[in-house]
Amino acid sequence: MFHFDVVTHWIDELLRTYLPAGWTLFIEFVLIGLVILTVYAVLALILIYVERKVCAFFQCRLGPMRVGPFGVLQSVADMIKILLKELIKIDRVDPRLFRLAAYLVIIASICTFGALPFDKGLHVVDFNIGVFYLLAVSSLGVVGILLAGWSSNNKYTVIGAMRSGAQLISYELSCGLSLMTIVMLSGSLQLSTIVEQQTVAWNIFRGGIPAIIAFIIYLIAGHAETNRGPFDLPEAESELTAGYHTEYSGIQFGFFYLAEYLNLFIIAAIATTLFLGGWMPLHIPGWESFNQVMDYIPPVLWFFAKTFFCVFLALWVRWTMPRLRIDQLLKLEWKILMPLSLLNIILMAVWIVWII
């Protein structure tokens, strides 16, 4: 298997031979920051293109076709356009909070993105508390959304922000509980350990029924966390124009847009890491030659393939289901998903004690 730690170790050794330790660290930090930001932006462009294409196919259209072959350069053109747009001054907003809100949303998203394990050695920080860190940092985005809604001085944005806040806070619960089921199974919060443990069988196969239930709950709750699909009440365009980011323009709107798409990716990536084996190839016990063929595919590709599979599931749901009402949304969480995931934790405990 080709792991990316060869490359990262090579860079580290190279820097260490020519520079003192302090400077090496500094340069590595800067490099990592640049790489993370670039990957973040490029992934956003890819995701926007994928979403437009998939949406078009669901609606029997072709989607973007004009710019570049099959319209692949469309999102690049859109990026240039959004970078050049004017930042419109809104009358009587709270300017400091108005600007801070966009940054809070995107910082929360980047911090979560930075801790994802893309491959062995392609993992910025491998905290002992990995899963908990991801949950903690991603919860900061709620504050940004609430502040954006309030500081914009607009009724629609406030209603959108309130709905979004209620939705994010409630669905965070079943998100956390379903991740906890997997933490119980693997006995560790560290992302690299969780991935290493899935060499033989991915958690979704190893954990059996409770893991599958947890996976489905996580996909639903995570999807609701991204404010998309049937859960897009906060930005329901028929009632609220665009919800909490109605008043934003130019790159400030771009921040919200980027964070929304990357949150979709992050939710899919966390699902991949915890349930679908992260960067581990698909191994079936007993099928030796099959396993070896699977090992030849680089782990980074495995990671992105699985993540984009989860992204596709999210897009599928988004363009198929009609929007929920707010009472249905809260009922789904508090009366169905949360009790179910609590029961699921007990089921997982039973599974670990008696079946594994």
156 binds another protein (CB under 8 A): no
Residue 146 or 233 having the CB closest to another protein: 146
Which residues, in sequence order, are bridge partners of residue 122?
Answer: 119
Q: Which of 118, 143, 147 is nearest to 265 (CA)?
A: 118
- Point out which span in 6-14, 39-47, 146-154, 310-318 binds another protein (CB under 8 A): 146-154
Beta-carbon contacts of residue 275 (< 8 Å; ≥ 6 apart): 182, 202, 203, 204, 211, 214, 215, 218
188 binds another protein (CB under 8 A): yes
| End-to-end Cα separation, the chain, in angstroms | 29
Distance CA 179, CA 225 (A): 14
Distance CA 133, CA 266 (A): 13
286 binds another protein (CB under 8 A): no
224 binds another protein (CB under 8 A): no
Contact 310, 275 (CB under 8 A): no
What is the closest distance, in whole angstroms, from the C-beta atom of residue 26 to another protein in the complex? Answer: 9
- Point out which span in 57-65, 188-196, 298-306, 309-317 binds another protein (CB under 8 A): 188-196
Contact 152, 260 (CB under 8 A): no
Residue 189 or 264 having the CB closest to another protein: 189
136 binds another protein (CB under 8 A): yes
What is the closest distance, in whole angstroms, from the C-beta atom of residue 188 to another protein in the complex? Answer: 7
162 binds another protein (CB under 8 A): yes
Q: Site for another protein (CB under 8 A): which residue of 55, 72, 73, 100? A: 100
Binding mask 13-32 for another protein (x = CB under 8 A): ---------x--x-------
Residue 76 or 143 having the CB closest to another protein: 143
Residue 128 or 199 having the CB closest to another protein: 128
Q: Site for another protein (CB under 8 A): which residue of 7, 65, 169, 321? A: 169
DSSP code of residue 247: T
What is the closest distance, in whole angstroms, from the C-beta atom of residue 165 to another protein in the complex? Answer: 7
Number of H helices, E strands in the chain: 16, 0
Grouping H, G, I as helix, E, B as strand and the rest as coil, residue 285 is: coil
Q: Site for another protein (CB under 8 A): which residue of 56, 77, 140, 342? A: 140
Alpha helix stretches (DSSP H) within 152-298: 155-186, 191-196, 203-206, 208-225, 237-240, 250-275, 288-296
**CB-based burial, 180-196: b 16+ in 10 Å, e otherwise:** bbbbbbbebbbbbebbe
Residue 154 or 307 having the CB closest to another protein: 154
Residue 146 or 214 having the CB closest to another protein: 146
Contact 129, 191 (CB under 8 A): no
Q: Site for another protein (CB under 8 A): which residue of 54, 116, 148, 189? A: 189
Beta-carbon contacts of residue 266 (< 8 Å; ≥ 6 apart): 109, 112, 113, 116, 138
List contacts with another protein (CB under 8 A): 22, 25, 94, 96-97, 100, 127-129, 132-133, 135-137, 139-140, 142-143, 146-147, 150-151, 153, 158, 161-162, 165, 169, 188-190
